[in-house]
């Protein structure tokens, strides 16, 4: 699959193809009386979280994965949430557990993520899965960077020997992205809020991944001619949803770029489905 003249890396289109592939595998499992199951826990009433959960539920329904949602009140205690996670750990029909982040202030996110059975950790955030990613790679890797790698693969982007720059060092995107690119033989630089002369680094990037959560943070003149630009950001503005990359300026210089919306977001959801299917196959043979 090659990038067209429009230079767009169509995450939405690739995600649809992945869903067709997953749906076929789910049908094969159902013939063996195995139905993959994903349970999402939503604590509180964060509007963005409710939208994301809705996307995940609809995607599961499209491919035939059993999806259930557990809603818990905003004032839920940490003990109550831990008890619910433990119950799901012990439920054999649940292959994937996803606790929607962020959590209310009274709950320690790290403790909750540690409590999830690593074999059911379809978000890829458990320390065991993070360690596996660093040491040897893992199926249950964080969905957004894993989705980015899948998108690059589907477009036959060769990473070997390329200069890759990741802007952002979060546990959700930046750090796992570093390891995945490195494992594919790219030479990787990670930049962050204290990086001096950010433009110097981004202008060297054959592969540029922007994951800082700041609208239009990467301007067009910060992009190398012929670069592959991956925009992870989803920011609300007066002009609607925009990414971390100033799209029109970057597109003029880039060989290919992900749009916002329609780029990384759909791939994240598709990868969650992949992780749930893989967790089911691993757990149930």
CATH number at residue 261: 3.40.50.720
Q: What are phi and psi for residue 201, nearest 5 degrees?
A: -75, -45
**79, 101, 118 - which closes a domain:** 118
112 CB-side CA count, 13 A:
26
**Structural domain that includes position 106:** 33-118
Catalytic (active-site) positions: 56, 100, 123
The reply to whether 227 falls in a domain is yes
Is a pLDDT exceeding 80 seen at residue 235?
yes
Helices (H), 158-261: 174-183, 198-202, 247-253
pLDDT in tens, 252-265: 999 999 999 999 99
The reply to whether 75 falls in a domain is yes
Q: Per the structure block, which two tokens stand in for 166? A: 């990741």
109 shares its domain with 170: no
225 shares its domain with 260: yes
62 shares its domain with 106: yes
197 shares its domain with 245: yes
Total domains present in the chain: 2
CATH number of the structural domain spanning residue 98: 3.40.50.10860
Structure confidence at residue 59 (pLDDT): 98
149 shares its domain with 260: yes
pTM of the model: 0.96
Counting residues of the chain whose pLDDT is more than 90, the rounded percentage is 93
90 shares its domain with 186: no
Structure confidence at residue 136 (pLDDT): 80
Q: What are phi and psi for residue 93, nearest 5 degrees?
A: -85, -5
Residue 134 pLDDT class (50, 70, 90 cuts)? very high
**Length of the chain measured in residues:** 285
**102, 118, 134 - which closes a domain:** 118
Residue keyed to tokens 């094969």: 28
Structure confidence at residue 238 (pLDDT): 82
Residue 107 DSSP symbol: S
90 shares its domain with 169: no
**Residue pair 124/138 in contact by the 8 Å Cβ criterion:** yes
Counting residues of the chain whose pLDDT is more than 70, the rounded percentage is 100
**Residue pair 254/270 in contact by the 8 Å Cβ criterion:** no
The reply to whether 136 falls in a domain is no
160 shares its domain with 240: yes
Is a pLDDT exceeding 90 seen at residue 236?
no
The reply to whether 10 falls in a domain is no
pLDDT in tens, 160-172: 999 999 999 999 9
Structure confidence at residue 285 (pLDDT): 75
The reply to whether 47 falls in a domain is yes
169 shares its domain with 257: yes
The reply to whether 132 falls in a domain is no
163 shares its domain with 96: no
Q: What are phi and psi for residue 163, nearest 5 degrees?
A: -85, 115
Q: Per the structure block, which two tokens stand in for 64? A: 């035939």
The reply to whether 270 falls in a domain is no
Tell me which H or E stretch contains 219.
none
147 shares its domain with 79: no
Q: Going by DSSP bridges, is the β-strand pair 235-237/240-242 parallel, antiparallel, or unpaired? A: antiparallel
**Residue pair 19/25 in contact by the 8 Å Cβ criterion:** no
**83, 118, 153 - which closes a domain:** 118
Q: Give the mean pLDDT of 190-211.
A: 97
Helices (H), 31-142: 47-63, 78-89, 109-115, 127-135
The reply to whether 196 falls in a domain is yes
pLDDT in tens, 273-282: 999 999 999 9
Structure confidence at residue 252 (pLDDT): 97
107 shares its domain with 157: no
């Amino acid at each position: 699959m090659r990038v067209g003249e429009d230079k767009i890396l169509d995450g939405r289109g690739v995600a649809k193809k992945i869903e067709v592939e997953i749906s076929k595998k789910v049908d094969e499992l159902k013939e063996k009386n195995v139905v993959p199951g994903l349970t999402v826990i939503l604590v509180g009433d964060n509007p963005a979280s409710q939208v994301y959960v809705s996307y995940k539920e609809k995607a599961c329904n499209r491919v035939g994965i059993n999806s259930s949602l557990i809603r818990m009140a905003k004032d839920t205690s940490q003990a109550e949430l831990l008890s619910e996670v433990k119950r799901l750990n012990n439920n054999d029909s649940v292959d994937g557990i996803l606790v929607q982040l962020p959590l209310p202030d009274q709950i320690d996110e790290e403790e909750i993520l540690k409590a999830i059975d690593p074999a059911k950790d379809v978000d890829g955030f458990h320390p065991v899965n993070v360690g596996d990613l660093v040491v040897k790679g893992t199926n249950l890797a964080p969905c957004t960077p894993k989705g980015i790698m899948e998108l690059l693969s589907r477009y036959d982007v060769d990473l070997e020997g390329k200069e890759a720059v990741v802007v952002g060092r979060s546990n959700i995107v930046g750090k796992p992205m570093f390891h995945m690119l490195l494992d594919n033989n790219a030479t990787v630089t990670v930049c962050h809020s204290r990086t001096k002369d950010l433009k110097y680094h981004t202008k060297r990037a054959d592969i540029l991944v922007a994951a800082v959560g700041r609208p239009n943070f990467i301007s067009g003149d910060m992009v190398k001619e012929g670069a592959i630009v991956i925009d992870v950001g989803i920011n609300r503005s007066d002009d609607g949803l925009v990414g971390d990359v100033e799209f029109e300026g970057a597109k003029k210089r880039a060989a290919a770029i992900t749009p916002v919306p329609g780029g990384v977001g759909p791939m994240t959801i598709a990868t969650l489905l992949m992780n749930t299917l893989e967790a089911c196959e691993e757990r149930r043979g």
